[in-house]
């Protein structure tokens, strides 16, 4: 090998002393240049720890309160229609069933303004988990019952404010007139309803049928079974969902 080749080969080798000298030169000013780097590392670690804590909290919260959030151990939803008699019989054979219907409508005060409301019509078994809390002492069944020719409703406080109403006054929804009997404080399965465009108006299933609002395309109904573990012969998770879809009439 020629002298030129040997010299070129030696020149391509990394000079360890040169790298060490460059590192010492960067450290002459102390660790001031590392402040930004250290801050970025700290922020990254905090972000990762925060996301992990939030994810763990959500997982534990859903595991603990999942039945309250969806309103039951298993929930079935139907869009634009009610369940058929065969579907109801099938669900009833798997456990106690609670039926809930939701839709949007306009509520009008007598001779006053109107407001968009989110109607929720419930049966006597509602809620399967959690509790409805109102500013009245009566239970939900008595508040929604027919009395003196009028069904009762429980409304979000926002509706009282928008329409300038007080408990005991009456509002019109569809073809029916209802009596406002209490303000709603807590609704256990509110998250299951999704996005809301107006205050909640809670009424009974029988009261909803007097409004004349039940028409194809206007209704979203839910049917809930309290304890999924009591459904014999069904696997859990995705297998259970698939088997329900295959078995429902």
Domain count, the chain: 2
Task: State how far the Cα of 228 lies from the Cα of 234, in Å rounded to an integer.
Answer: 9
Q: Which of 19, 49, 70 is the last residue of a domain?
A: 70
Could you tell me if 173 and 223 lie in one domain? yes
The answer to the question of residue 78 being in a domain is yes
**pLDDT value at residue 151:** 96
Could you tell me if 120 and 160 lie in one domain? yes
**pLDDT value at residue 96:** 77
The answer to the question of residue 4 being in a domain is no
Q: Which of 70, 91, 117 is the last residue of a domain?
A: 70
Q: What is the DSSP string of 41-110?
A: HHHHHHHHHHHHHHHHHHHHHHHHHHHHHHTSSEEEEEESSPPPHHHHHHHHTTS--EEEEEEEEEEEET
Query: Tens digit of pLDDT for each residue in 49-72?
Result: 888 888 887 777 766 666 676 666
Could you tell me if 66 and 110 lie in one domain? no
Could you tell me if 104 and 64 lie in one domain? no
The answer to the question of residue 2 being in a domain is no
User: Do 220 and 71 form a contact (C-beta atoms < 8 A)?
Assistant: no
Query: Tens digit of pLDDT for each residue in 168-200?
Result: 999 999 999 999 999 999 888 887 767 778 899
User: Do 202 and 155 form a contact (C-beta atoms < 8 A)?
Assistant: yes
The answer to the question of residue 183 being in a domain is yes
The enclosing H or E element of 115 equals: strand 114-122
Q: Is the peptide bond before 37 cis (omega within 30 degrees of 0)?
A: no
Task: State how far the Cα of 188 lies from the Cα of 70, in Å rounded to an integer.
Answer: 9
Containing domain of residue 41, as a range? 11-70
Q: Chain centroid to CA 51: how far?
A: 20
**pLDDT value at residue 217:** 73
Mean pLDDT of the chain: 78
Give me the residues paired with residue 185 across strands. none
Q: Which residue has the higher pLDDT, 189 or 114?
A: 114
- Give the mean pLDDT of 204-228: 78
Q: In this structure, what token pair is assigned to residue 58?
A: 């959500």
Q: Which of 20, 49, 70 is the last residue of a domain?
A: 70
**pLDDT value at residue 29:** 61
Could you tell me if 148 and 242 lie in one domain? yes
**pLDDT value at residue 116:** 93
**pLDDT value at residue 239:** 62
Give the lowest-confidence range in 65-69, 122-126, 154-158.
65-69
The answer to the question of residue 1 being in a domain is no
Query: Tens digit of pLDDT for each residue in 3-49?
Result: 444 444 455 455 677 777 776 776 666 666 667 767 888 898 889 88
Q: What's this model's pTM, rounded to 2 decimal places?
A: 0.67
Please name the residues in contact with 225: beta carbons below 8 A apart, sequence gap of 6 or more: 72, 73, 74, 91, 94, 95, 96, 97, 231
Q: In this structure, what token pair is assigned to residue 189?
A: 């399965």
Could you tell me if 170 and 118 lie in one domain? yes
Percent of the chain at pLDDT above 90? 27
- Give the mean pLDDT of 129-157: 91
CA dihedral 160, 165, 170, 174 (to 10 degrees): -50
The answer to the question of residue 5 being in a domain is no
Give the lowest-confidence range in 10-19, 102-111, 139-148, 156-165.
10-19
């Amino acid at each position: 090998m020629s002298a030129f080749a040997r010299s070129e080969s030696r020149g391509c080798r990394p000079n360890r002393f040169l790298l060490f000298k460059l590192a010492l030169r960067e450290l002459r000013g102390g660790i001031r240049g590392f402040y930004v780097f250290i801050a970025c590392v700290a922020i990254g670690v905090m972000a990762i720890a925060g996301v992990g804590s939030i994810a763990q909290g959500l997982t534990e919260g859903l595991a603990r309160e999942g039945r309250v959030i969806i309103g039951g151990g298993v929930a079935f939803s139907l869009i634009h229609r009610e369940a058929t008699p065969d579907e109801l019989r099938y669900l009833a054979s798997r456990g106690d069933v609670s039926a809930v219907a939701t839709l949007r409508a306009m509520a009008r005060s007598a001779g006053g303004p109107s407001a968009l409301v989110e109607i929720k019509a419930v049966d006597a078994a509602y809620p399967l988990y959690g509790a409805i809390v109102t500013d009245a002492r009566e239970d939900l069944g008595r508040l929604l019952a027919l009395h003196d020719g009028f069904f009762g409703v429980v409304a979000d406080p926002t509706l009282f404010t928008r329409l300038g109403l007080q408990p005991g006054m009456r509002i019109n929804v569809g073809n029916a007139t209802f009596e406002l009997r209490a303000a709603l404080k807590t609704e256990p399965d509110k998250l299951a309803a999704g996005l809301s465009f107006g205050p909640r108006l809670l009424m009974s299933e029988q009261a909803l049928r007097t409004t004349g609002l039940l028409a194809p395309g206007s209704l979203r109904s839910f049917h809930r079974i309290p304890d999924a573990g009591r459904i014999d012969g069904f696997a859990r998770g995705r297998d259970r969902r698939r088997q329900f879809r295959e078995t429902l009439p």
